[in-house]
Amino acid sequence: MNELPSPSSRQGKRGFLPAIWIASAVVLCALFVFVSAPRVDAESSSDEMRRYTLIIQNVFDFIQRHYVDEVASKTLYEGAMRGMLDSLGDPYSVYLDEADMGDLNDTTQGSFGGVGLYITKPTEPAKDGSPPYVQVASPIEDTPGWRAGISPGDLIVEIDGESTAELTMDEVLSRLRGTPGTEVSILIRRGEKLEYTVKLVRAIIEVPTVKSSMIGDDIGYLRITTFTPMTVDRVGEALQSFRTAGYRALVIDLRNNYGGLLQAAIGVSDFMLEGGVIVTTKSRIANENAVYSAKAKTFVPADIPIVVLINRGSASASEIVAGALKDRGRAVLVGEKSFGKGAVQQVFPIDSTGFKITTSRYYTPSDVNIDKIGIPPDIEVKFPELSDAEAEVLNKLIADGRIPAFVKGEASPSVARVDAFVKELSAAYPISESLLKRLVRDELNRTVIAPPFDLEYDIQLRAGVELLRGGRWSQAVKEAKTLKVLQDEAAVAAEAAKTAEAALTVKAAKTAVDAPAIQK
């Protein structure tokens, strides 16, 4: 029979346990005293590294021997790896477990199961106190996320009812990616007023590389959606087709291009530049610095004017191309300021896991880094933004589902039928007919492979085409400033603003001191 211990035996156990805790504490203290003993005031960097490495190793061993529950070595290893990389405060330097490495390989090689959204996540709340929700950097064309109308800048507030503010980037990716054919529900917030739920069915996401077409018989349109090992070849094929068609100008569309491989960006830039610097990478280790230059001969003749389209979804490798062509005076940039990611990462595998770490920063030909700054366009063209009232109306329109219902009921409506439907919508939802017509067109395009471009609604592309056909490109490229000049001007303006603010503060303080005398 099992019996409860007597009061005396229970007291004896209580008296024994603190002794164990004290003994353990003494052992641990001795351990740290022993490890810390070699430290001196002028400790060298290598000595310090050895000391902390030994501490980590001893704590690792101590936890395995003394923690209340048995813990796997792999668990401690992964925790230590994540902790070290998280301590850098760099969202691009992360530990990659087996699933992460698989996802990374799928992305760089061309396919994975997911919804087709490239995302970012702040590491802490914004200055205004808003939660660190996931932000969409760009959707991948012809994927569930893109077909649902999700746009760069949208916030993913919830995934299957769970707030993304509390999730790590790894946790977010694990919830968005998954088996093709399964469903995931996300809550989208756009601006201050617009918020709606979207249900997406995961699919095999084939990472697109290039789309191309002729605009009329004179302009080659080249859209680069990401930079992969196949990008340079695909761009070369597109440029050859333009040459065969007799193109006289070129539009390179880098909007919503999240980046990709450094070598691919260099290879694409090389098509347009004749010798000279494309990009420079600078590391903490001097012998790892590199200067990448174009070949002596260029595939695109110098007399072919080039317009590059950028927006806030243009990041990393796409900014390398845009920055190189801008600084070298080879292209005019049209659109909106780019994302601003000027760091280069390398992936280091460890068996089936690994880690990704920022090893250098890249600099444009005028020797500036655009990290967290972005590249401003030479000609700014923005899509109209909704007012709060219009956002509320659009929110109601989305919630009512009128446009998807129309498209579902009429697979191939005529232009006249679309126009009539837009008139009906305009009467019920007071927002511009142009926006309504574009929403209907977008919904129709989500059921098919979208055309490479749409001059009717794409005002940024239209501005680029008008620049090329209107004979104003040469003047625009002459007036364009290098990124070095722009950053220097911005620094001078910031210093002037700071001086003016300080002068106003002094004046206000003097007024406050003089006020009592004036009142007398």
| Three-class secondary structure of residue 334 per DSSP | strand
Is the Cβ–Cβ distance between 354 and 469 less than 8 Å? no
* Phi–psi pair at 26, nearest 5 degrees: -65, -45
Catalytic residue status for 341? yes
Catalytic residue status for 327? yes
CA angle 273, 279, 282 (to 5 degrees): 165
CA angle 261, 264, 268 (to 5 degrees): 145
Round to whole Å and give the CA distance between 509 and 107.
58
Q: State whether the Cα torsion 32-33-38-41 is positive or negative.
A: positive
Round to whole Å and give the CA distance between 215 and 369.
34
Round to whole Å and give the CA distance between 194 and 351.
45
Q: State whether the Cα torsion 73-74-80-81 is positive or negative.
A: positive
The angle, 0 to 180 degrees and rounded to 10, between the axes of the packed helices 433-445 and 402-409 is 50
Round to whole Å and give the CA distance between 300 and 456.
28
Round to whole Å and give the CA distance between 234 and 214.
16
Is the Cβ–Cβ distance between 390 and 398 less than 8 Å? no
**Residues paired with residue 308 on neighbouring β-strands, in sequence order:** 252, 333
- Residue 358's CB: how many other CB atoms inside 10 A? 16
Round to whole Å and give the CA distance between 333 and 477.
9
- Residue 512's CB: how many other CB atoms inside 10 A? 9
Q: What is the 3-state secondary structure (H, E, C) of 2-15?
A: CCCCCHHHHHHHHH
Catalytic-role residue among 314, 316, 338, 360: 316
The helix or strand, by DSSP H or E, that contains position 415, with its residue range, turns out to be: helix 415-428
The helix or strand, by DSSP H or E, that contains position 331, with its residue range, turns out to be: strand 331-335
- Residue 182's CB: how many other CB atoms inside 10 A? 11
**Residues paired with residue 310 on neighbouring β-strands, in sequence order:** 335
Round to whole Å and give the CA distance between 354 and 360.
18
Structure tokens at 200: 């997406």
Residues in the chain: 520
Is the Cβ–Cβ distance between 314 and 288 less than 8 Å? no
Catalytic-role residue among 97, 100, 103, 327: 327
Catalytic residue status for 316? yes
* Phi–psi pair at 162, nearest 5 degrees: -105, 125
Catalytic-role residue among 341, 360, 378, 458: 341
Catalytic residues: 316, 327, 341
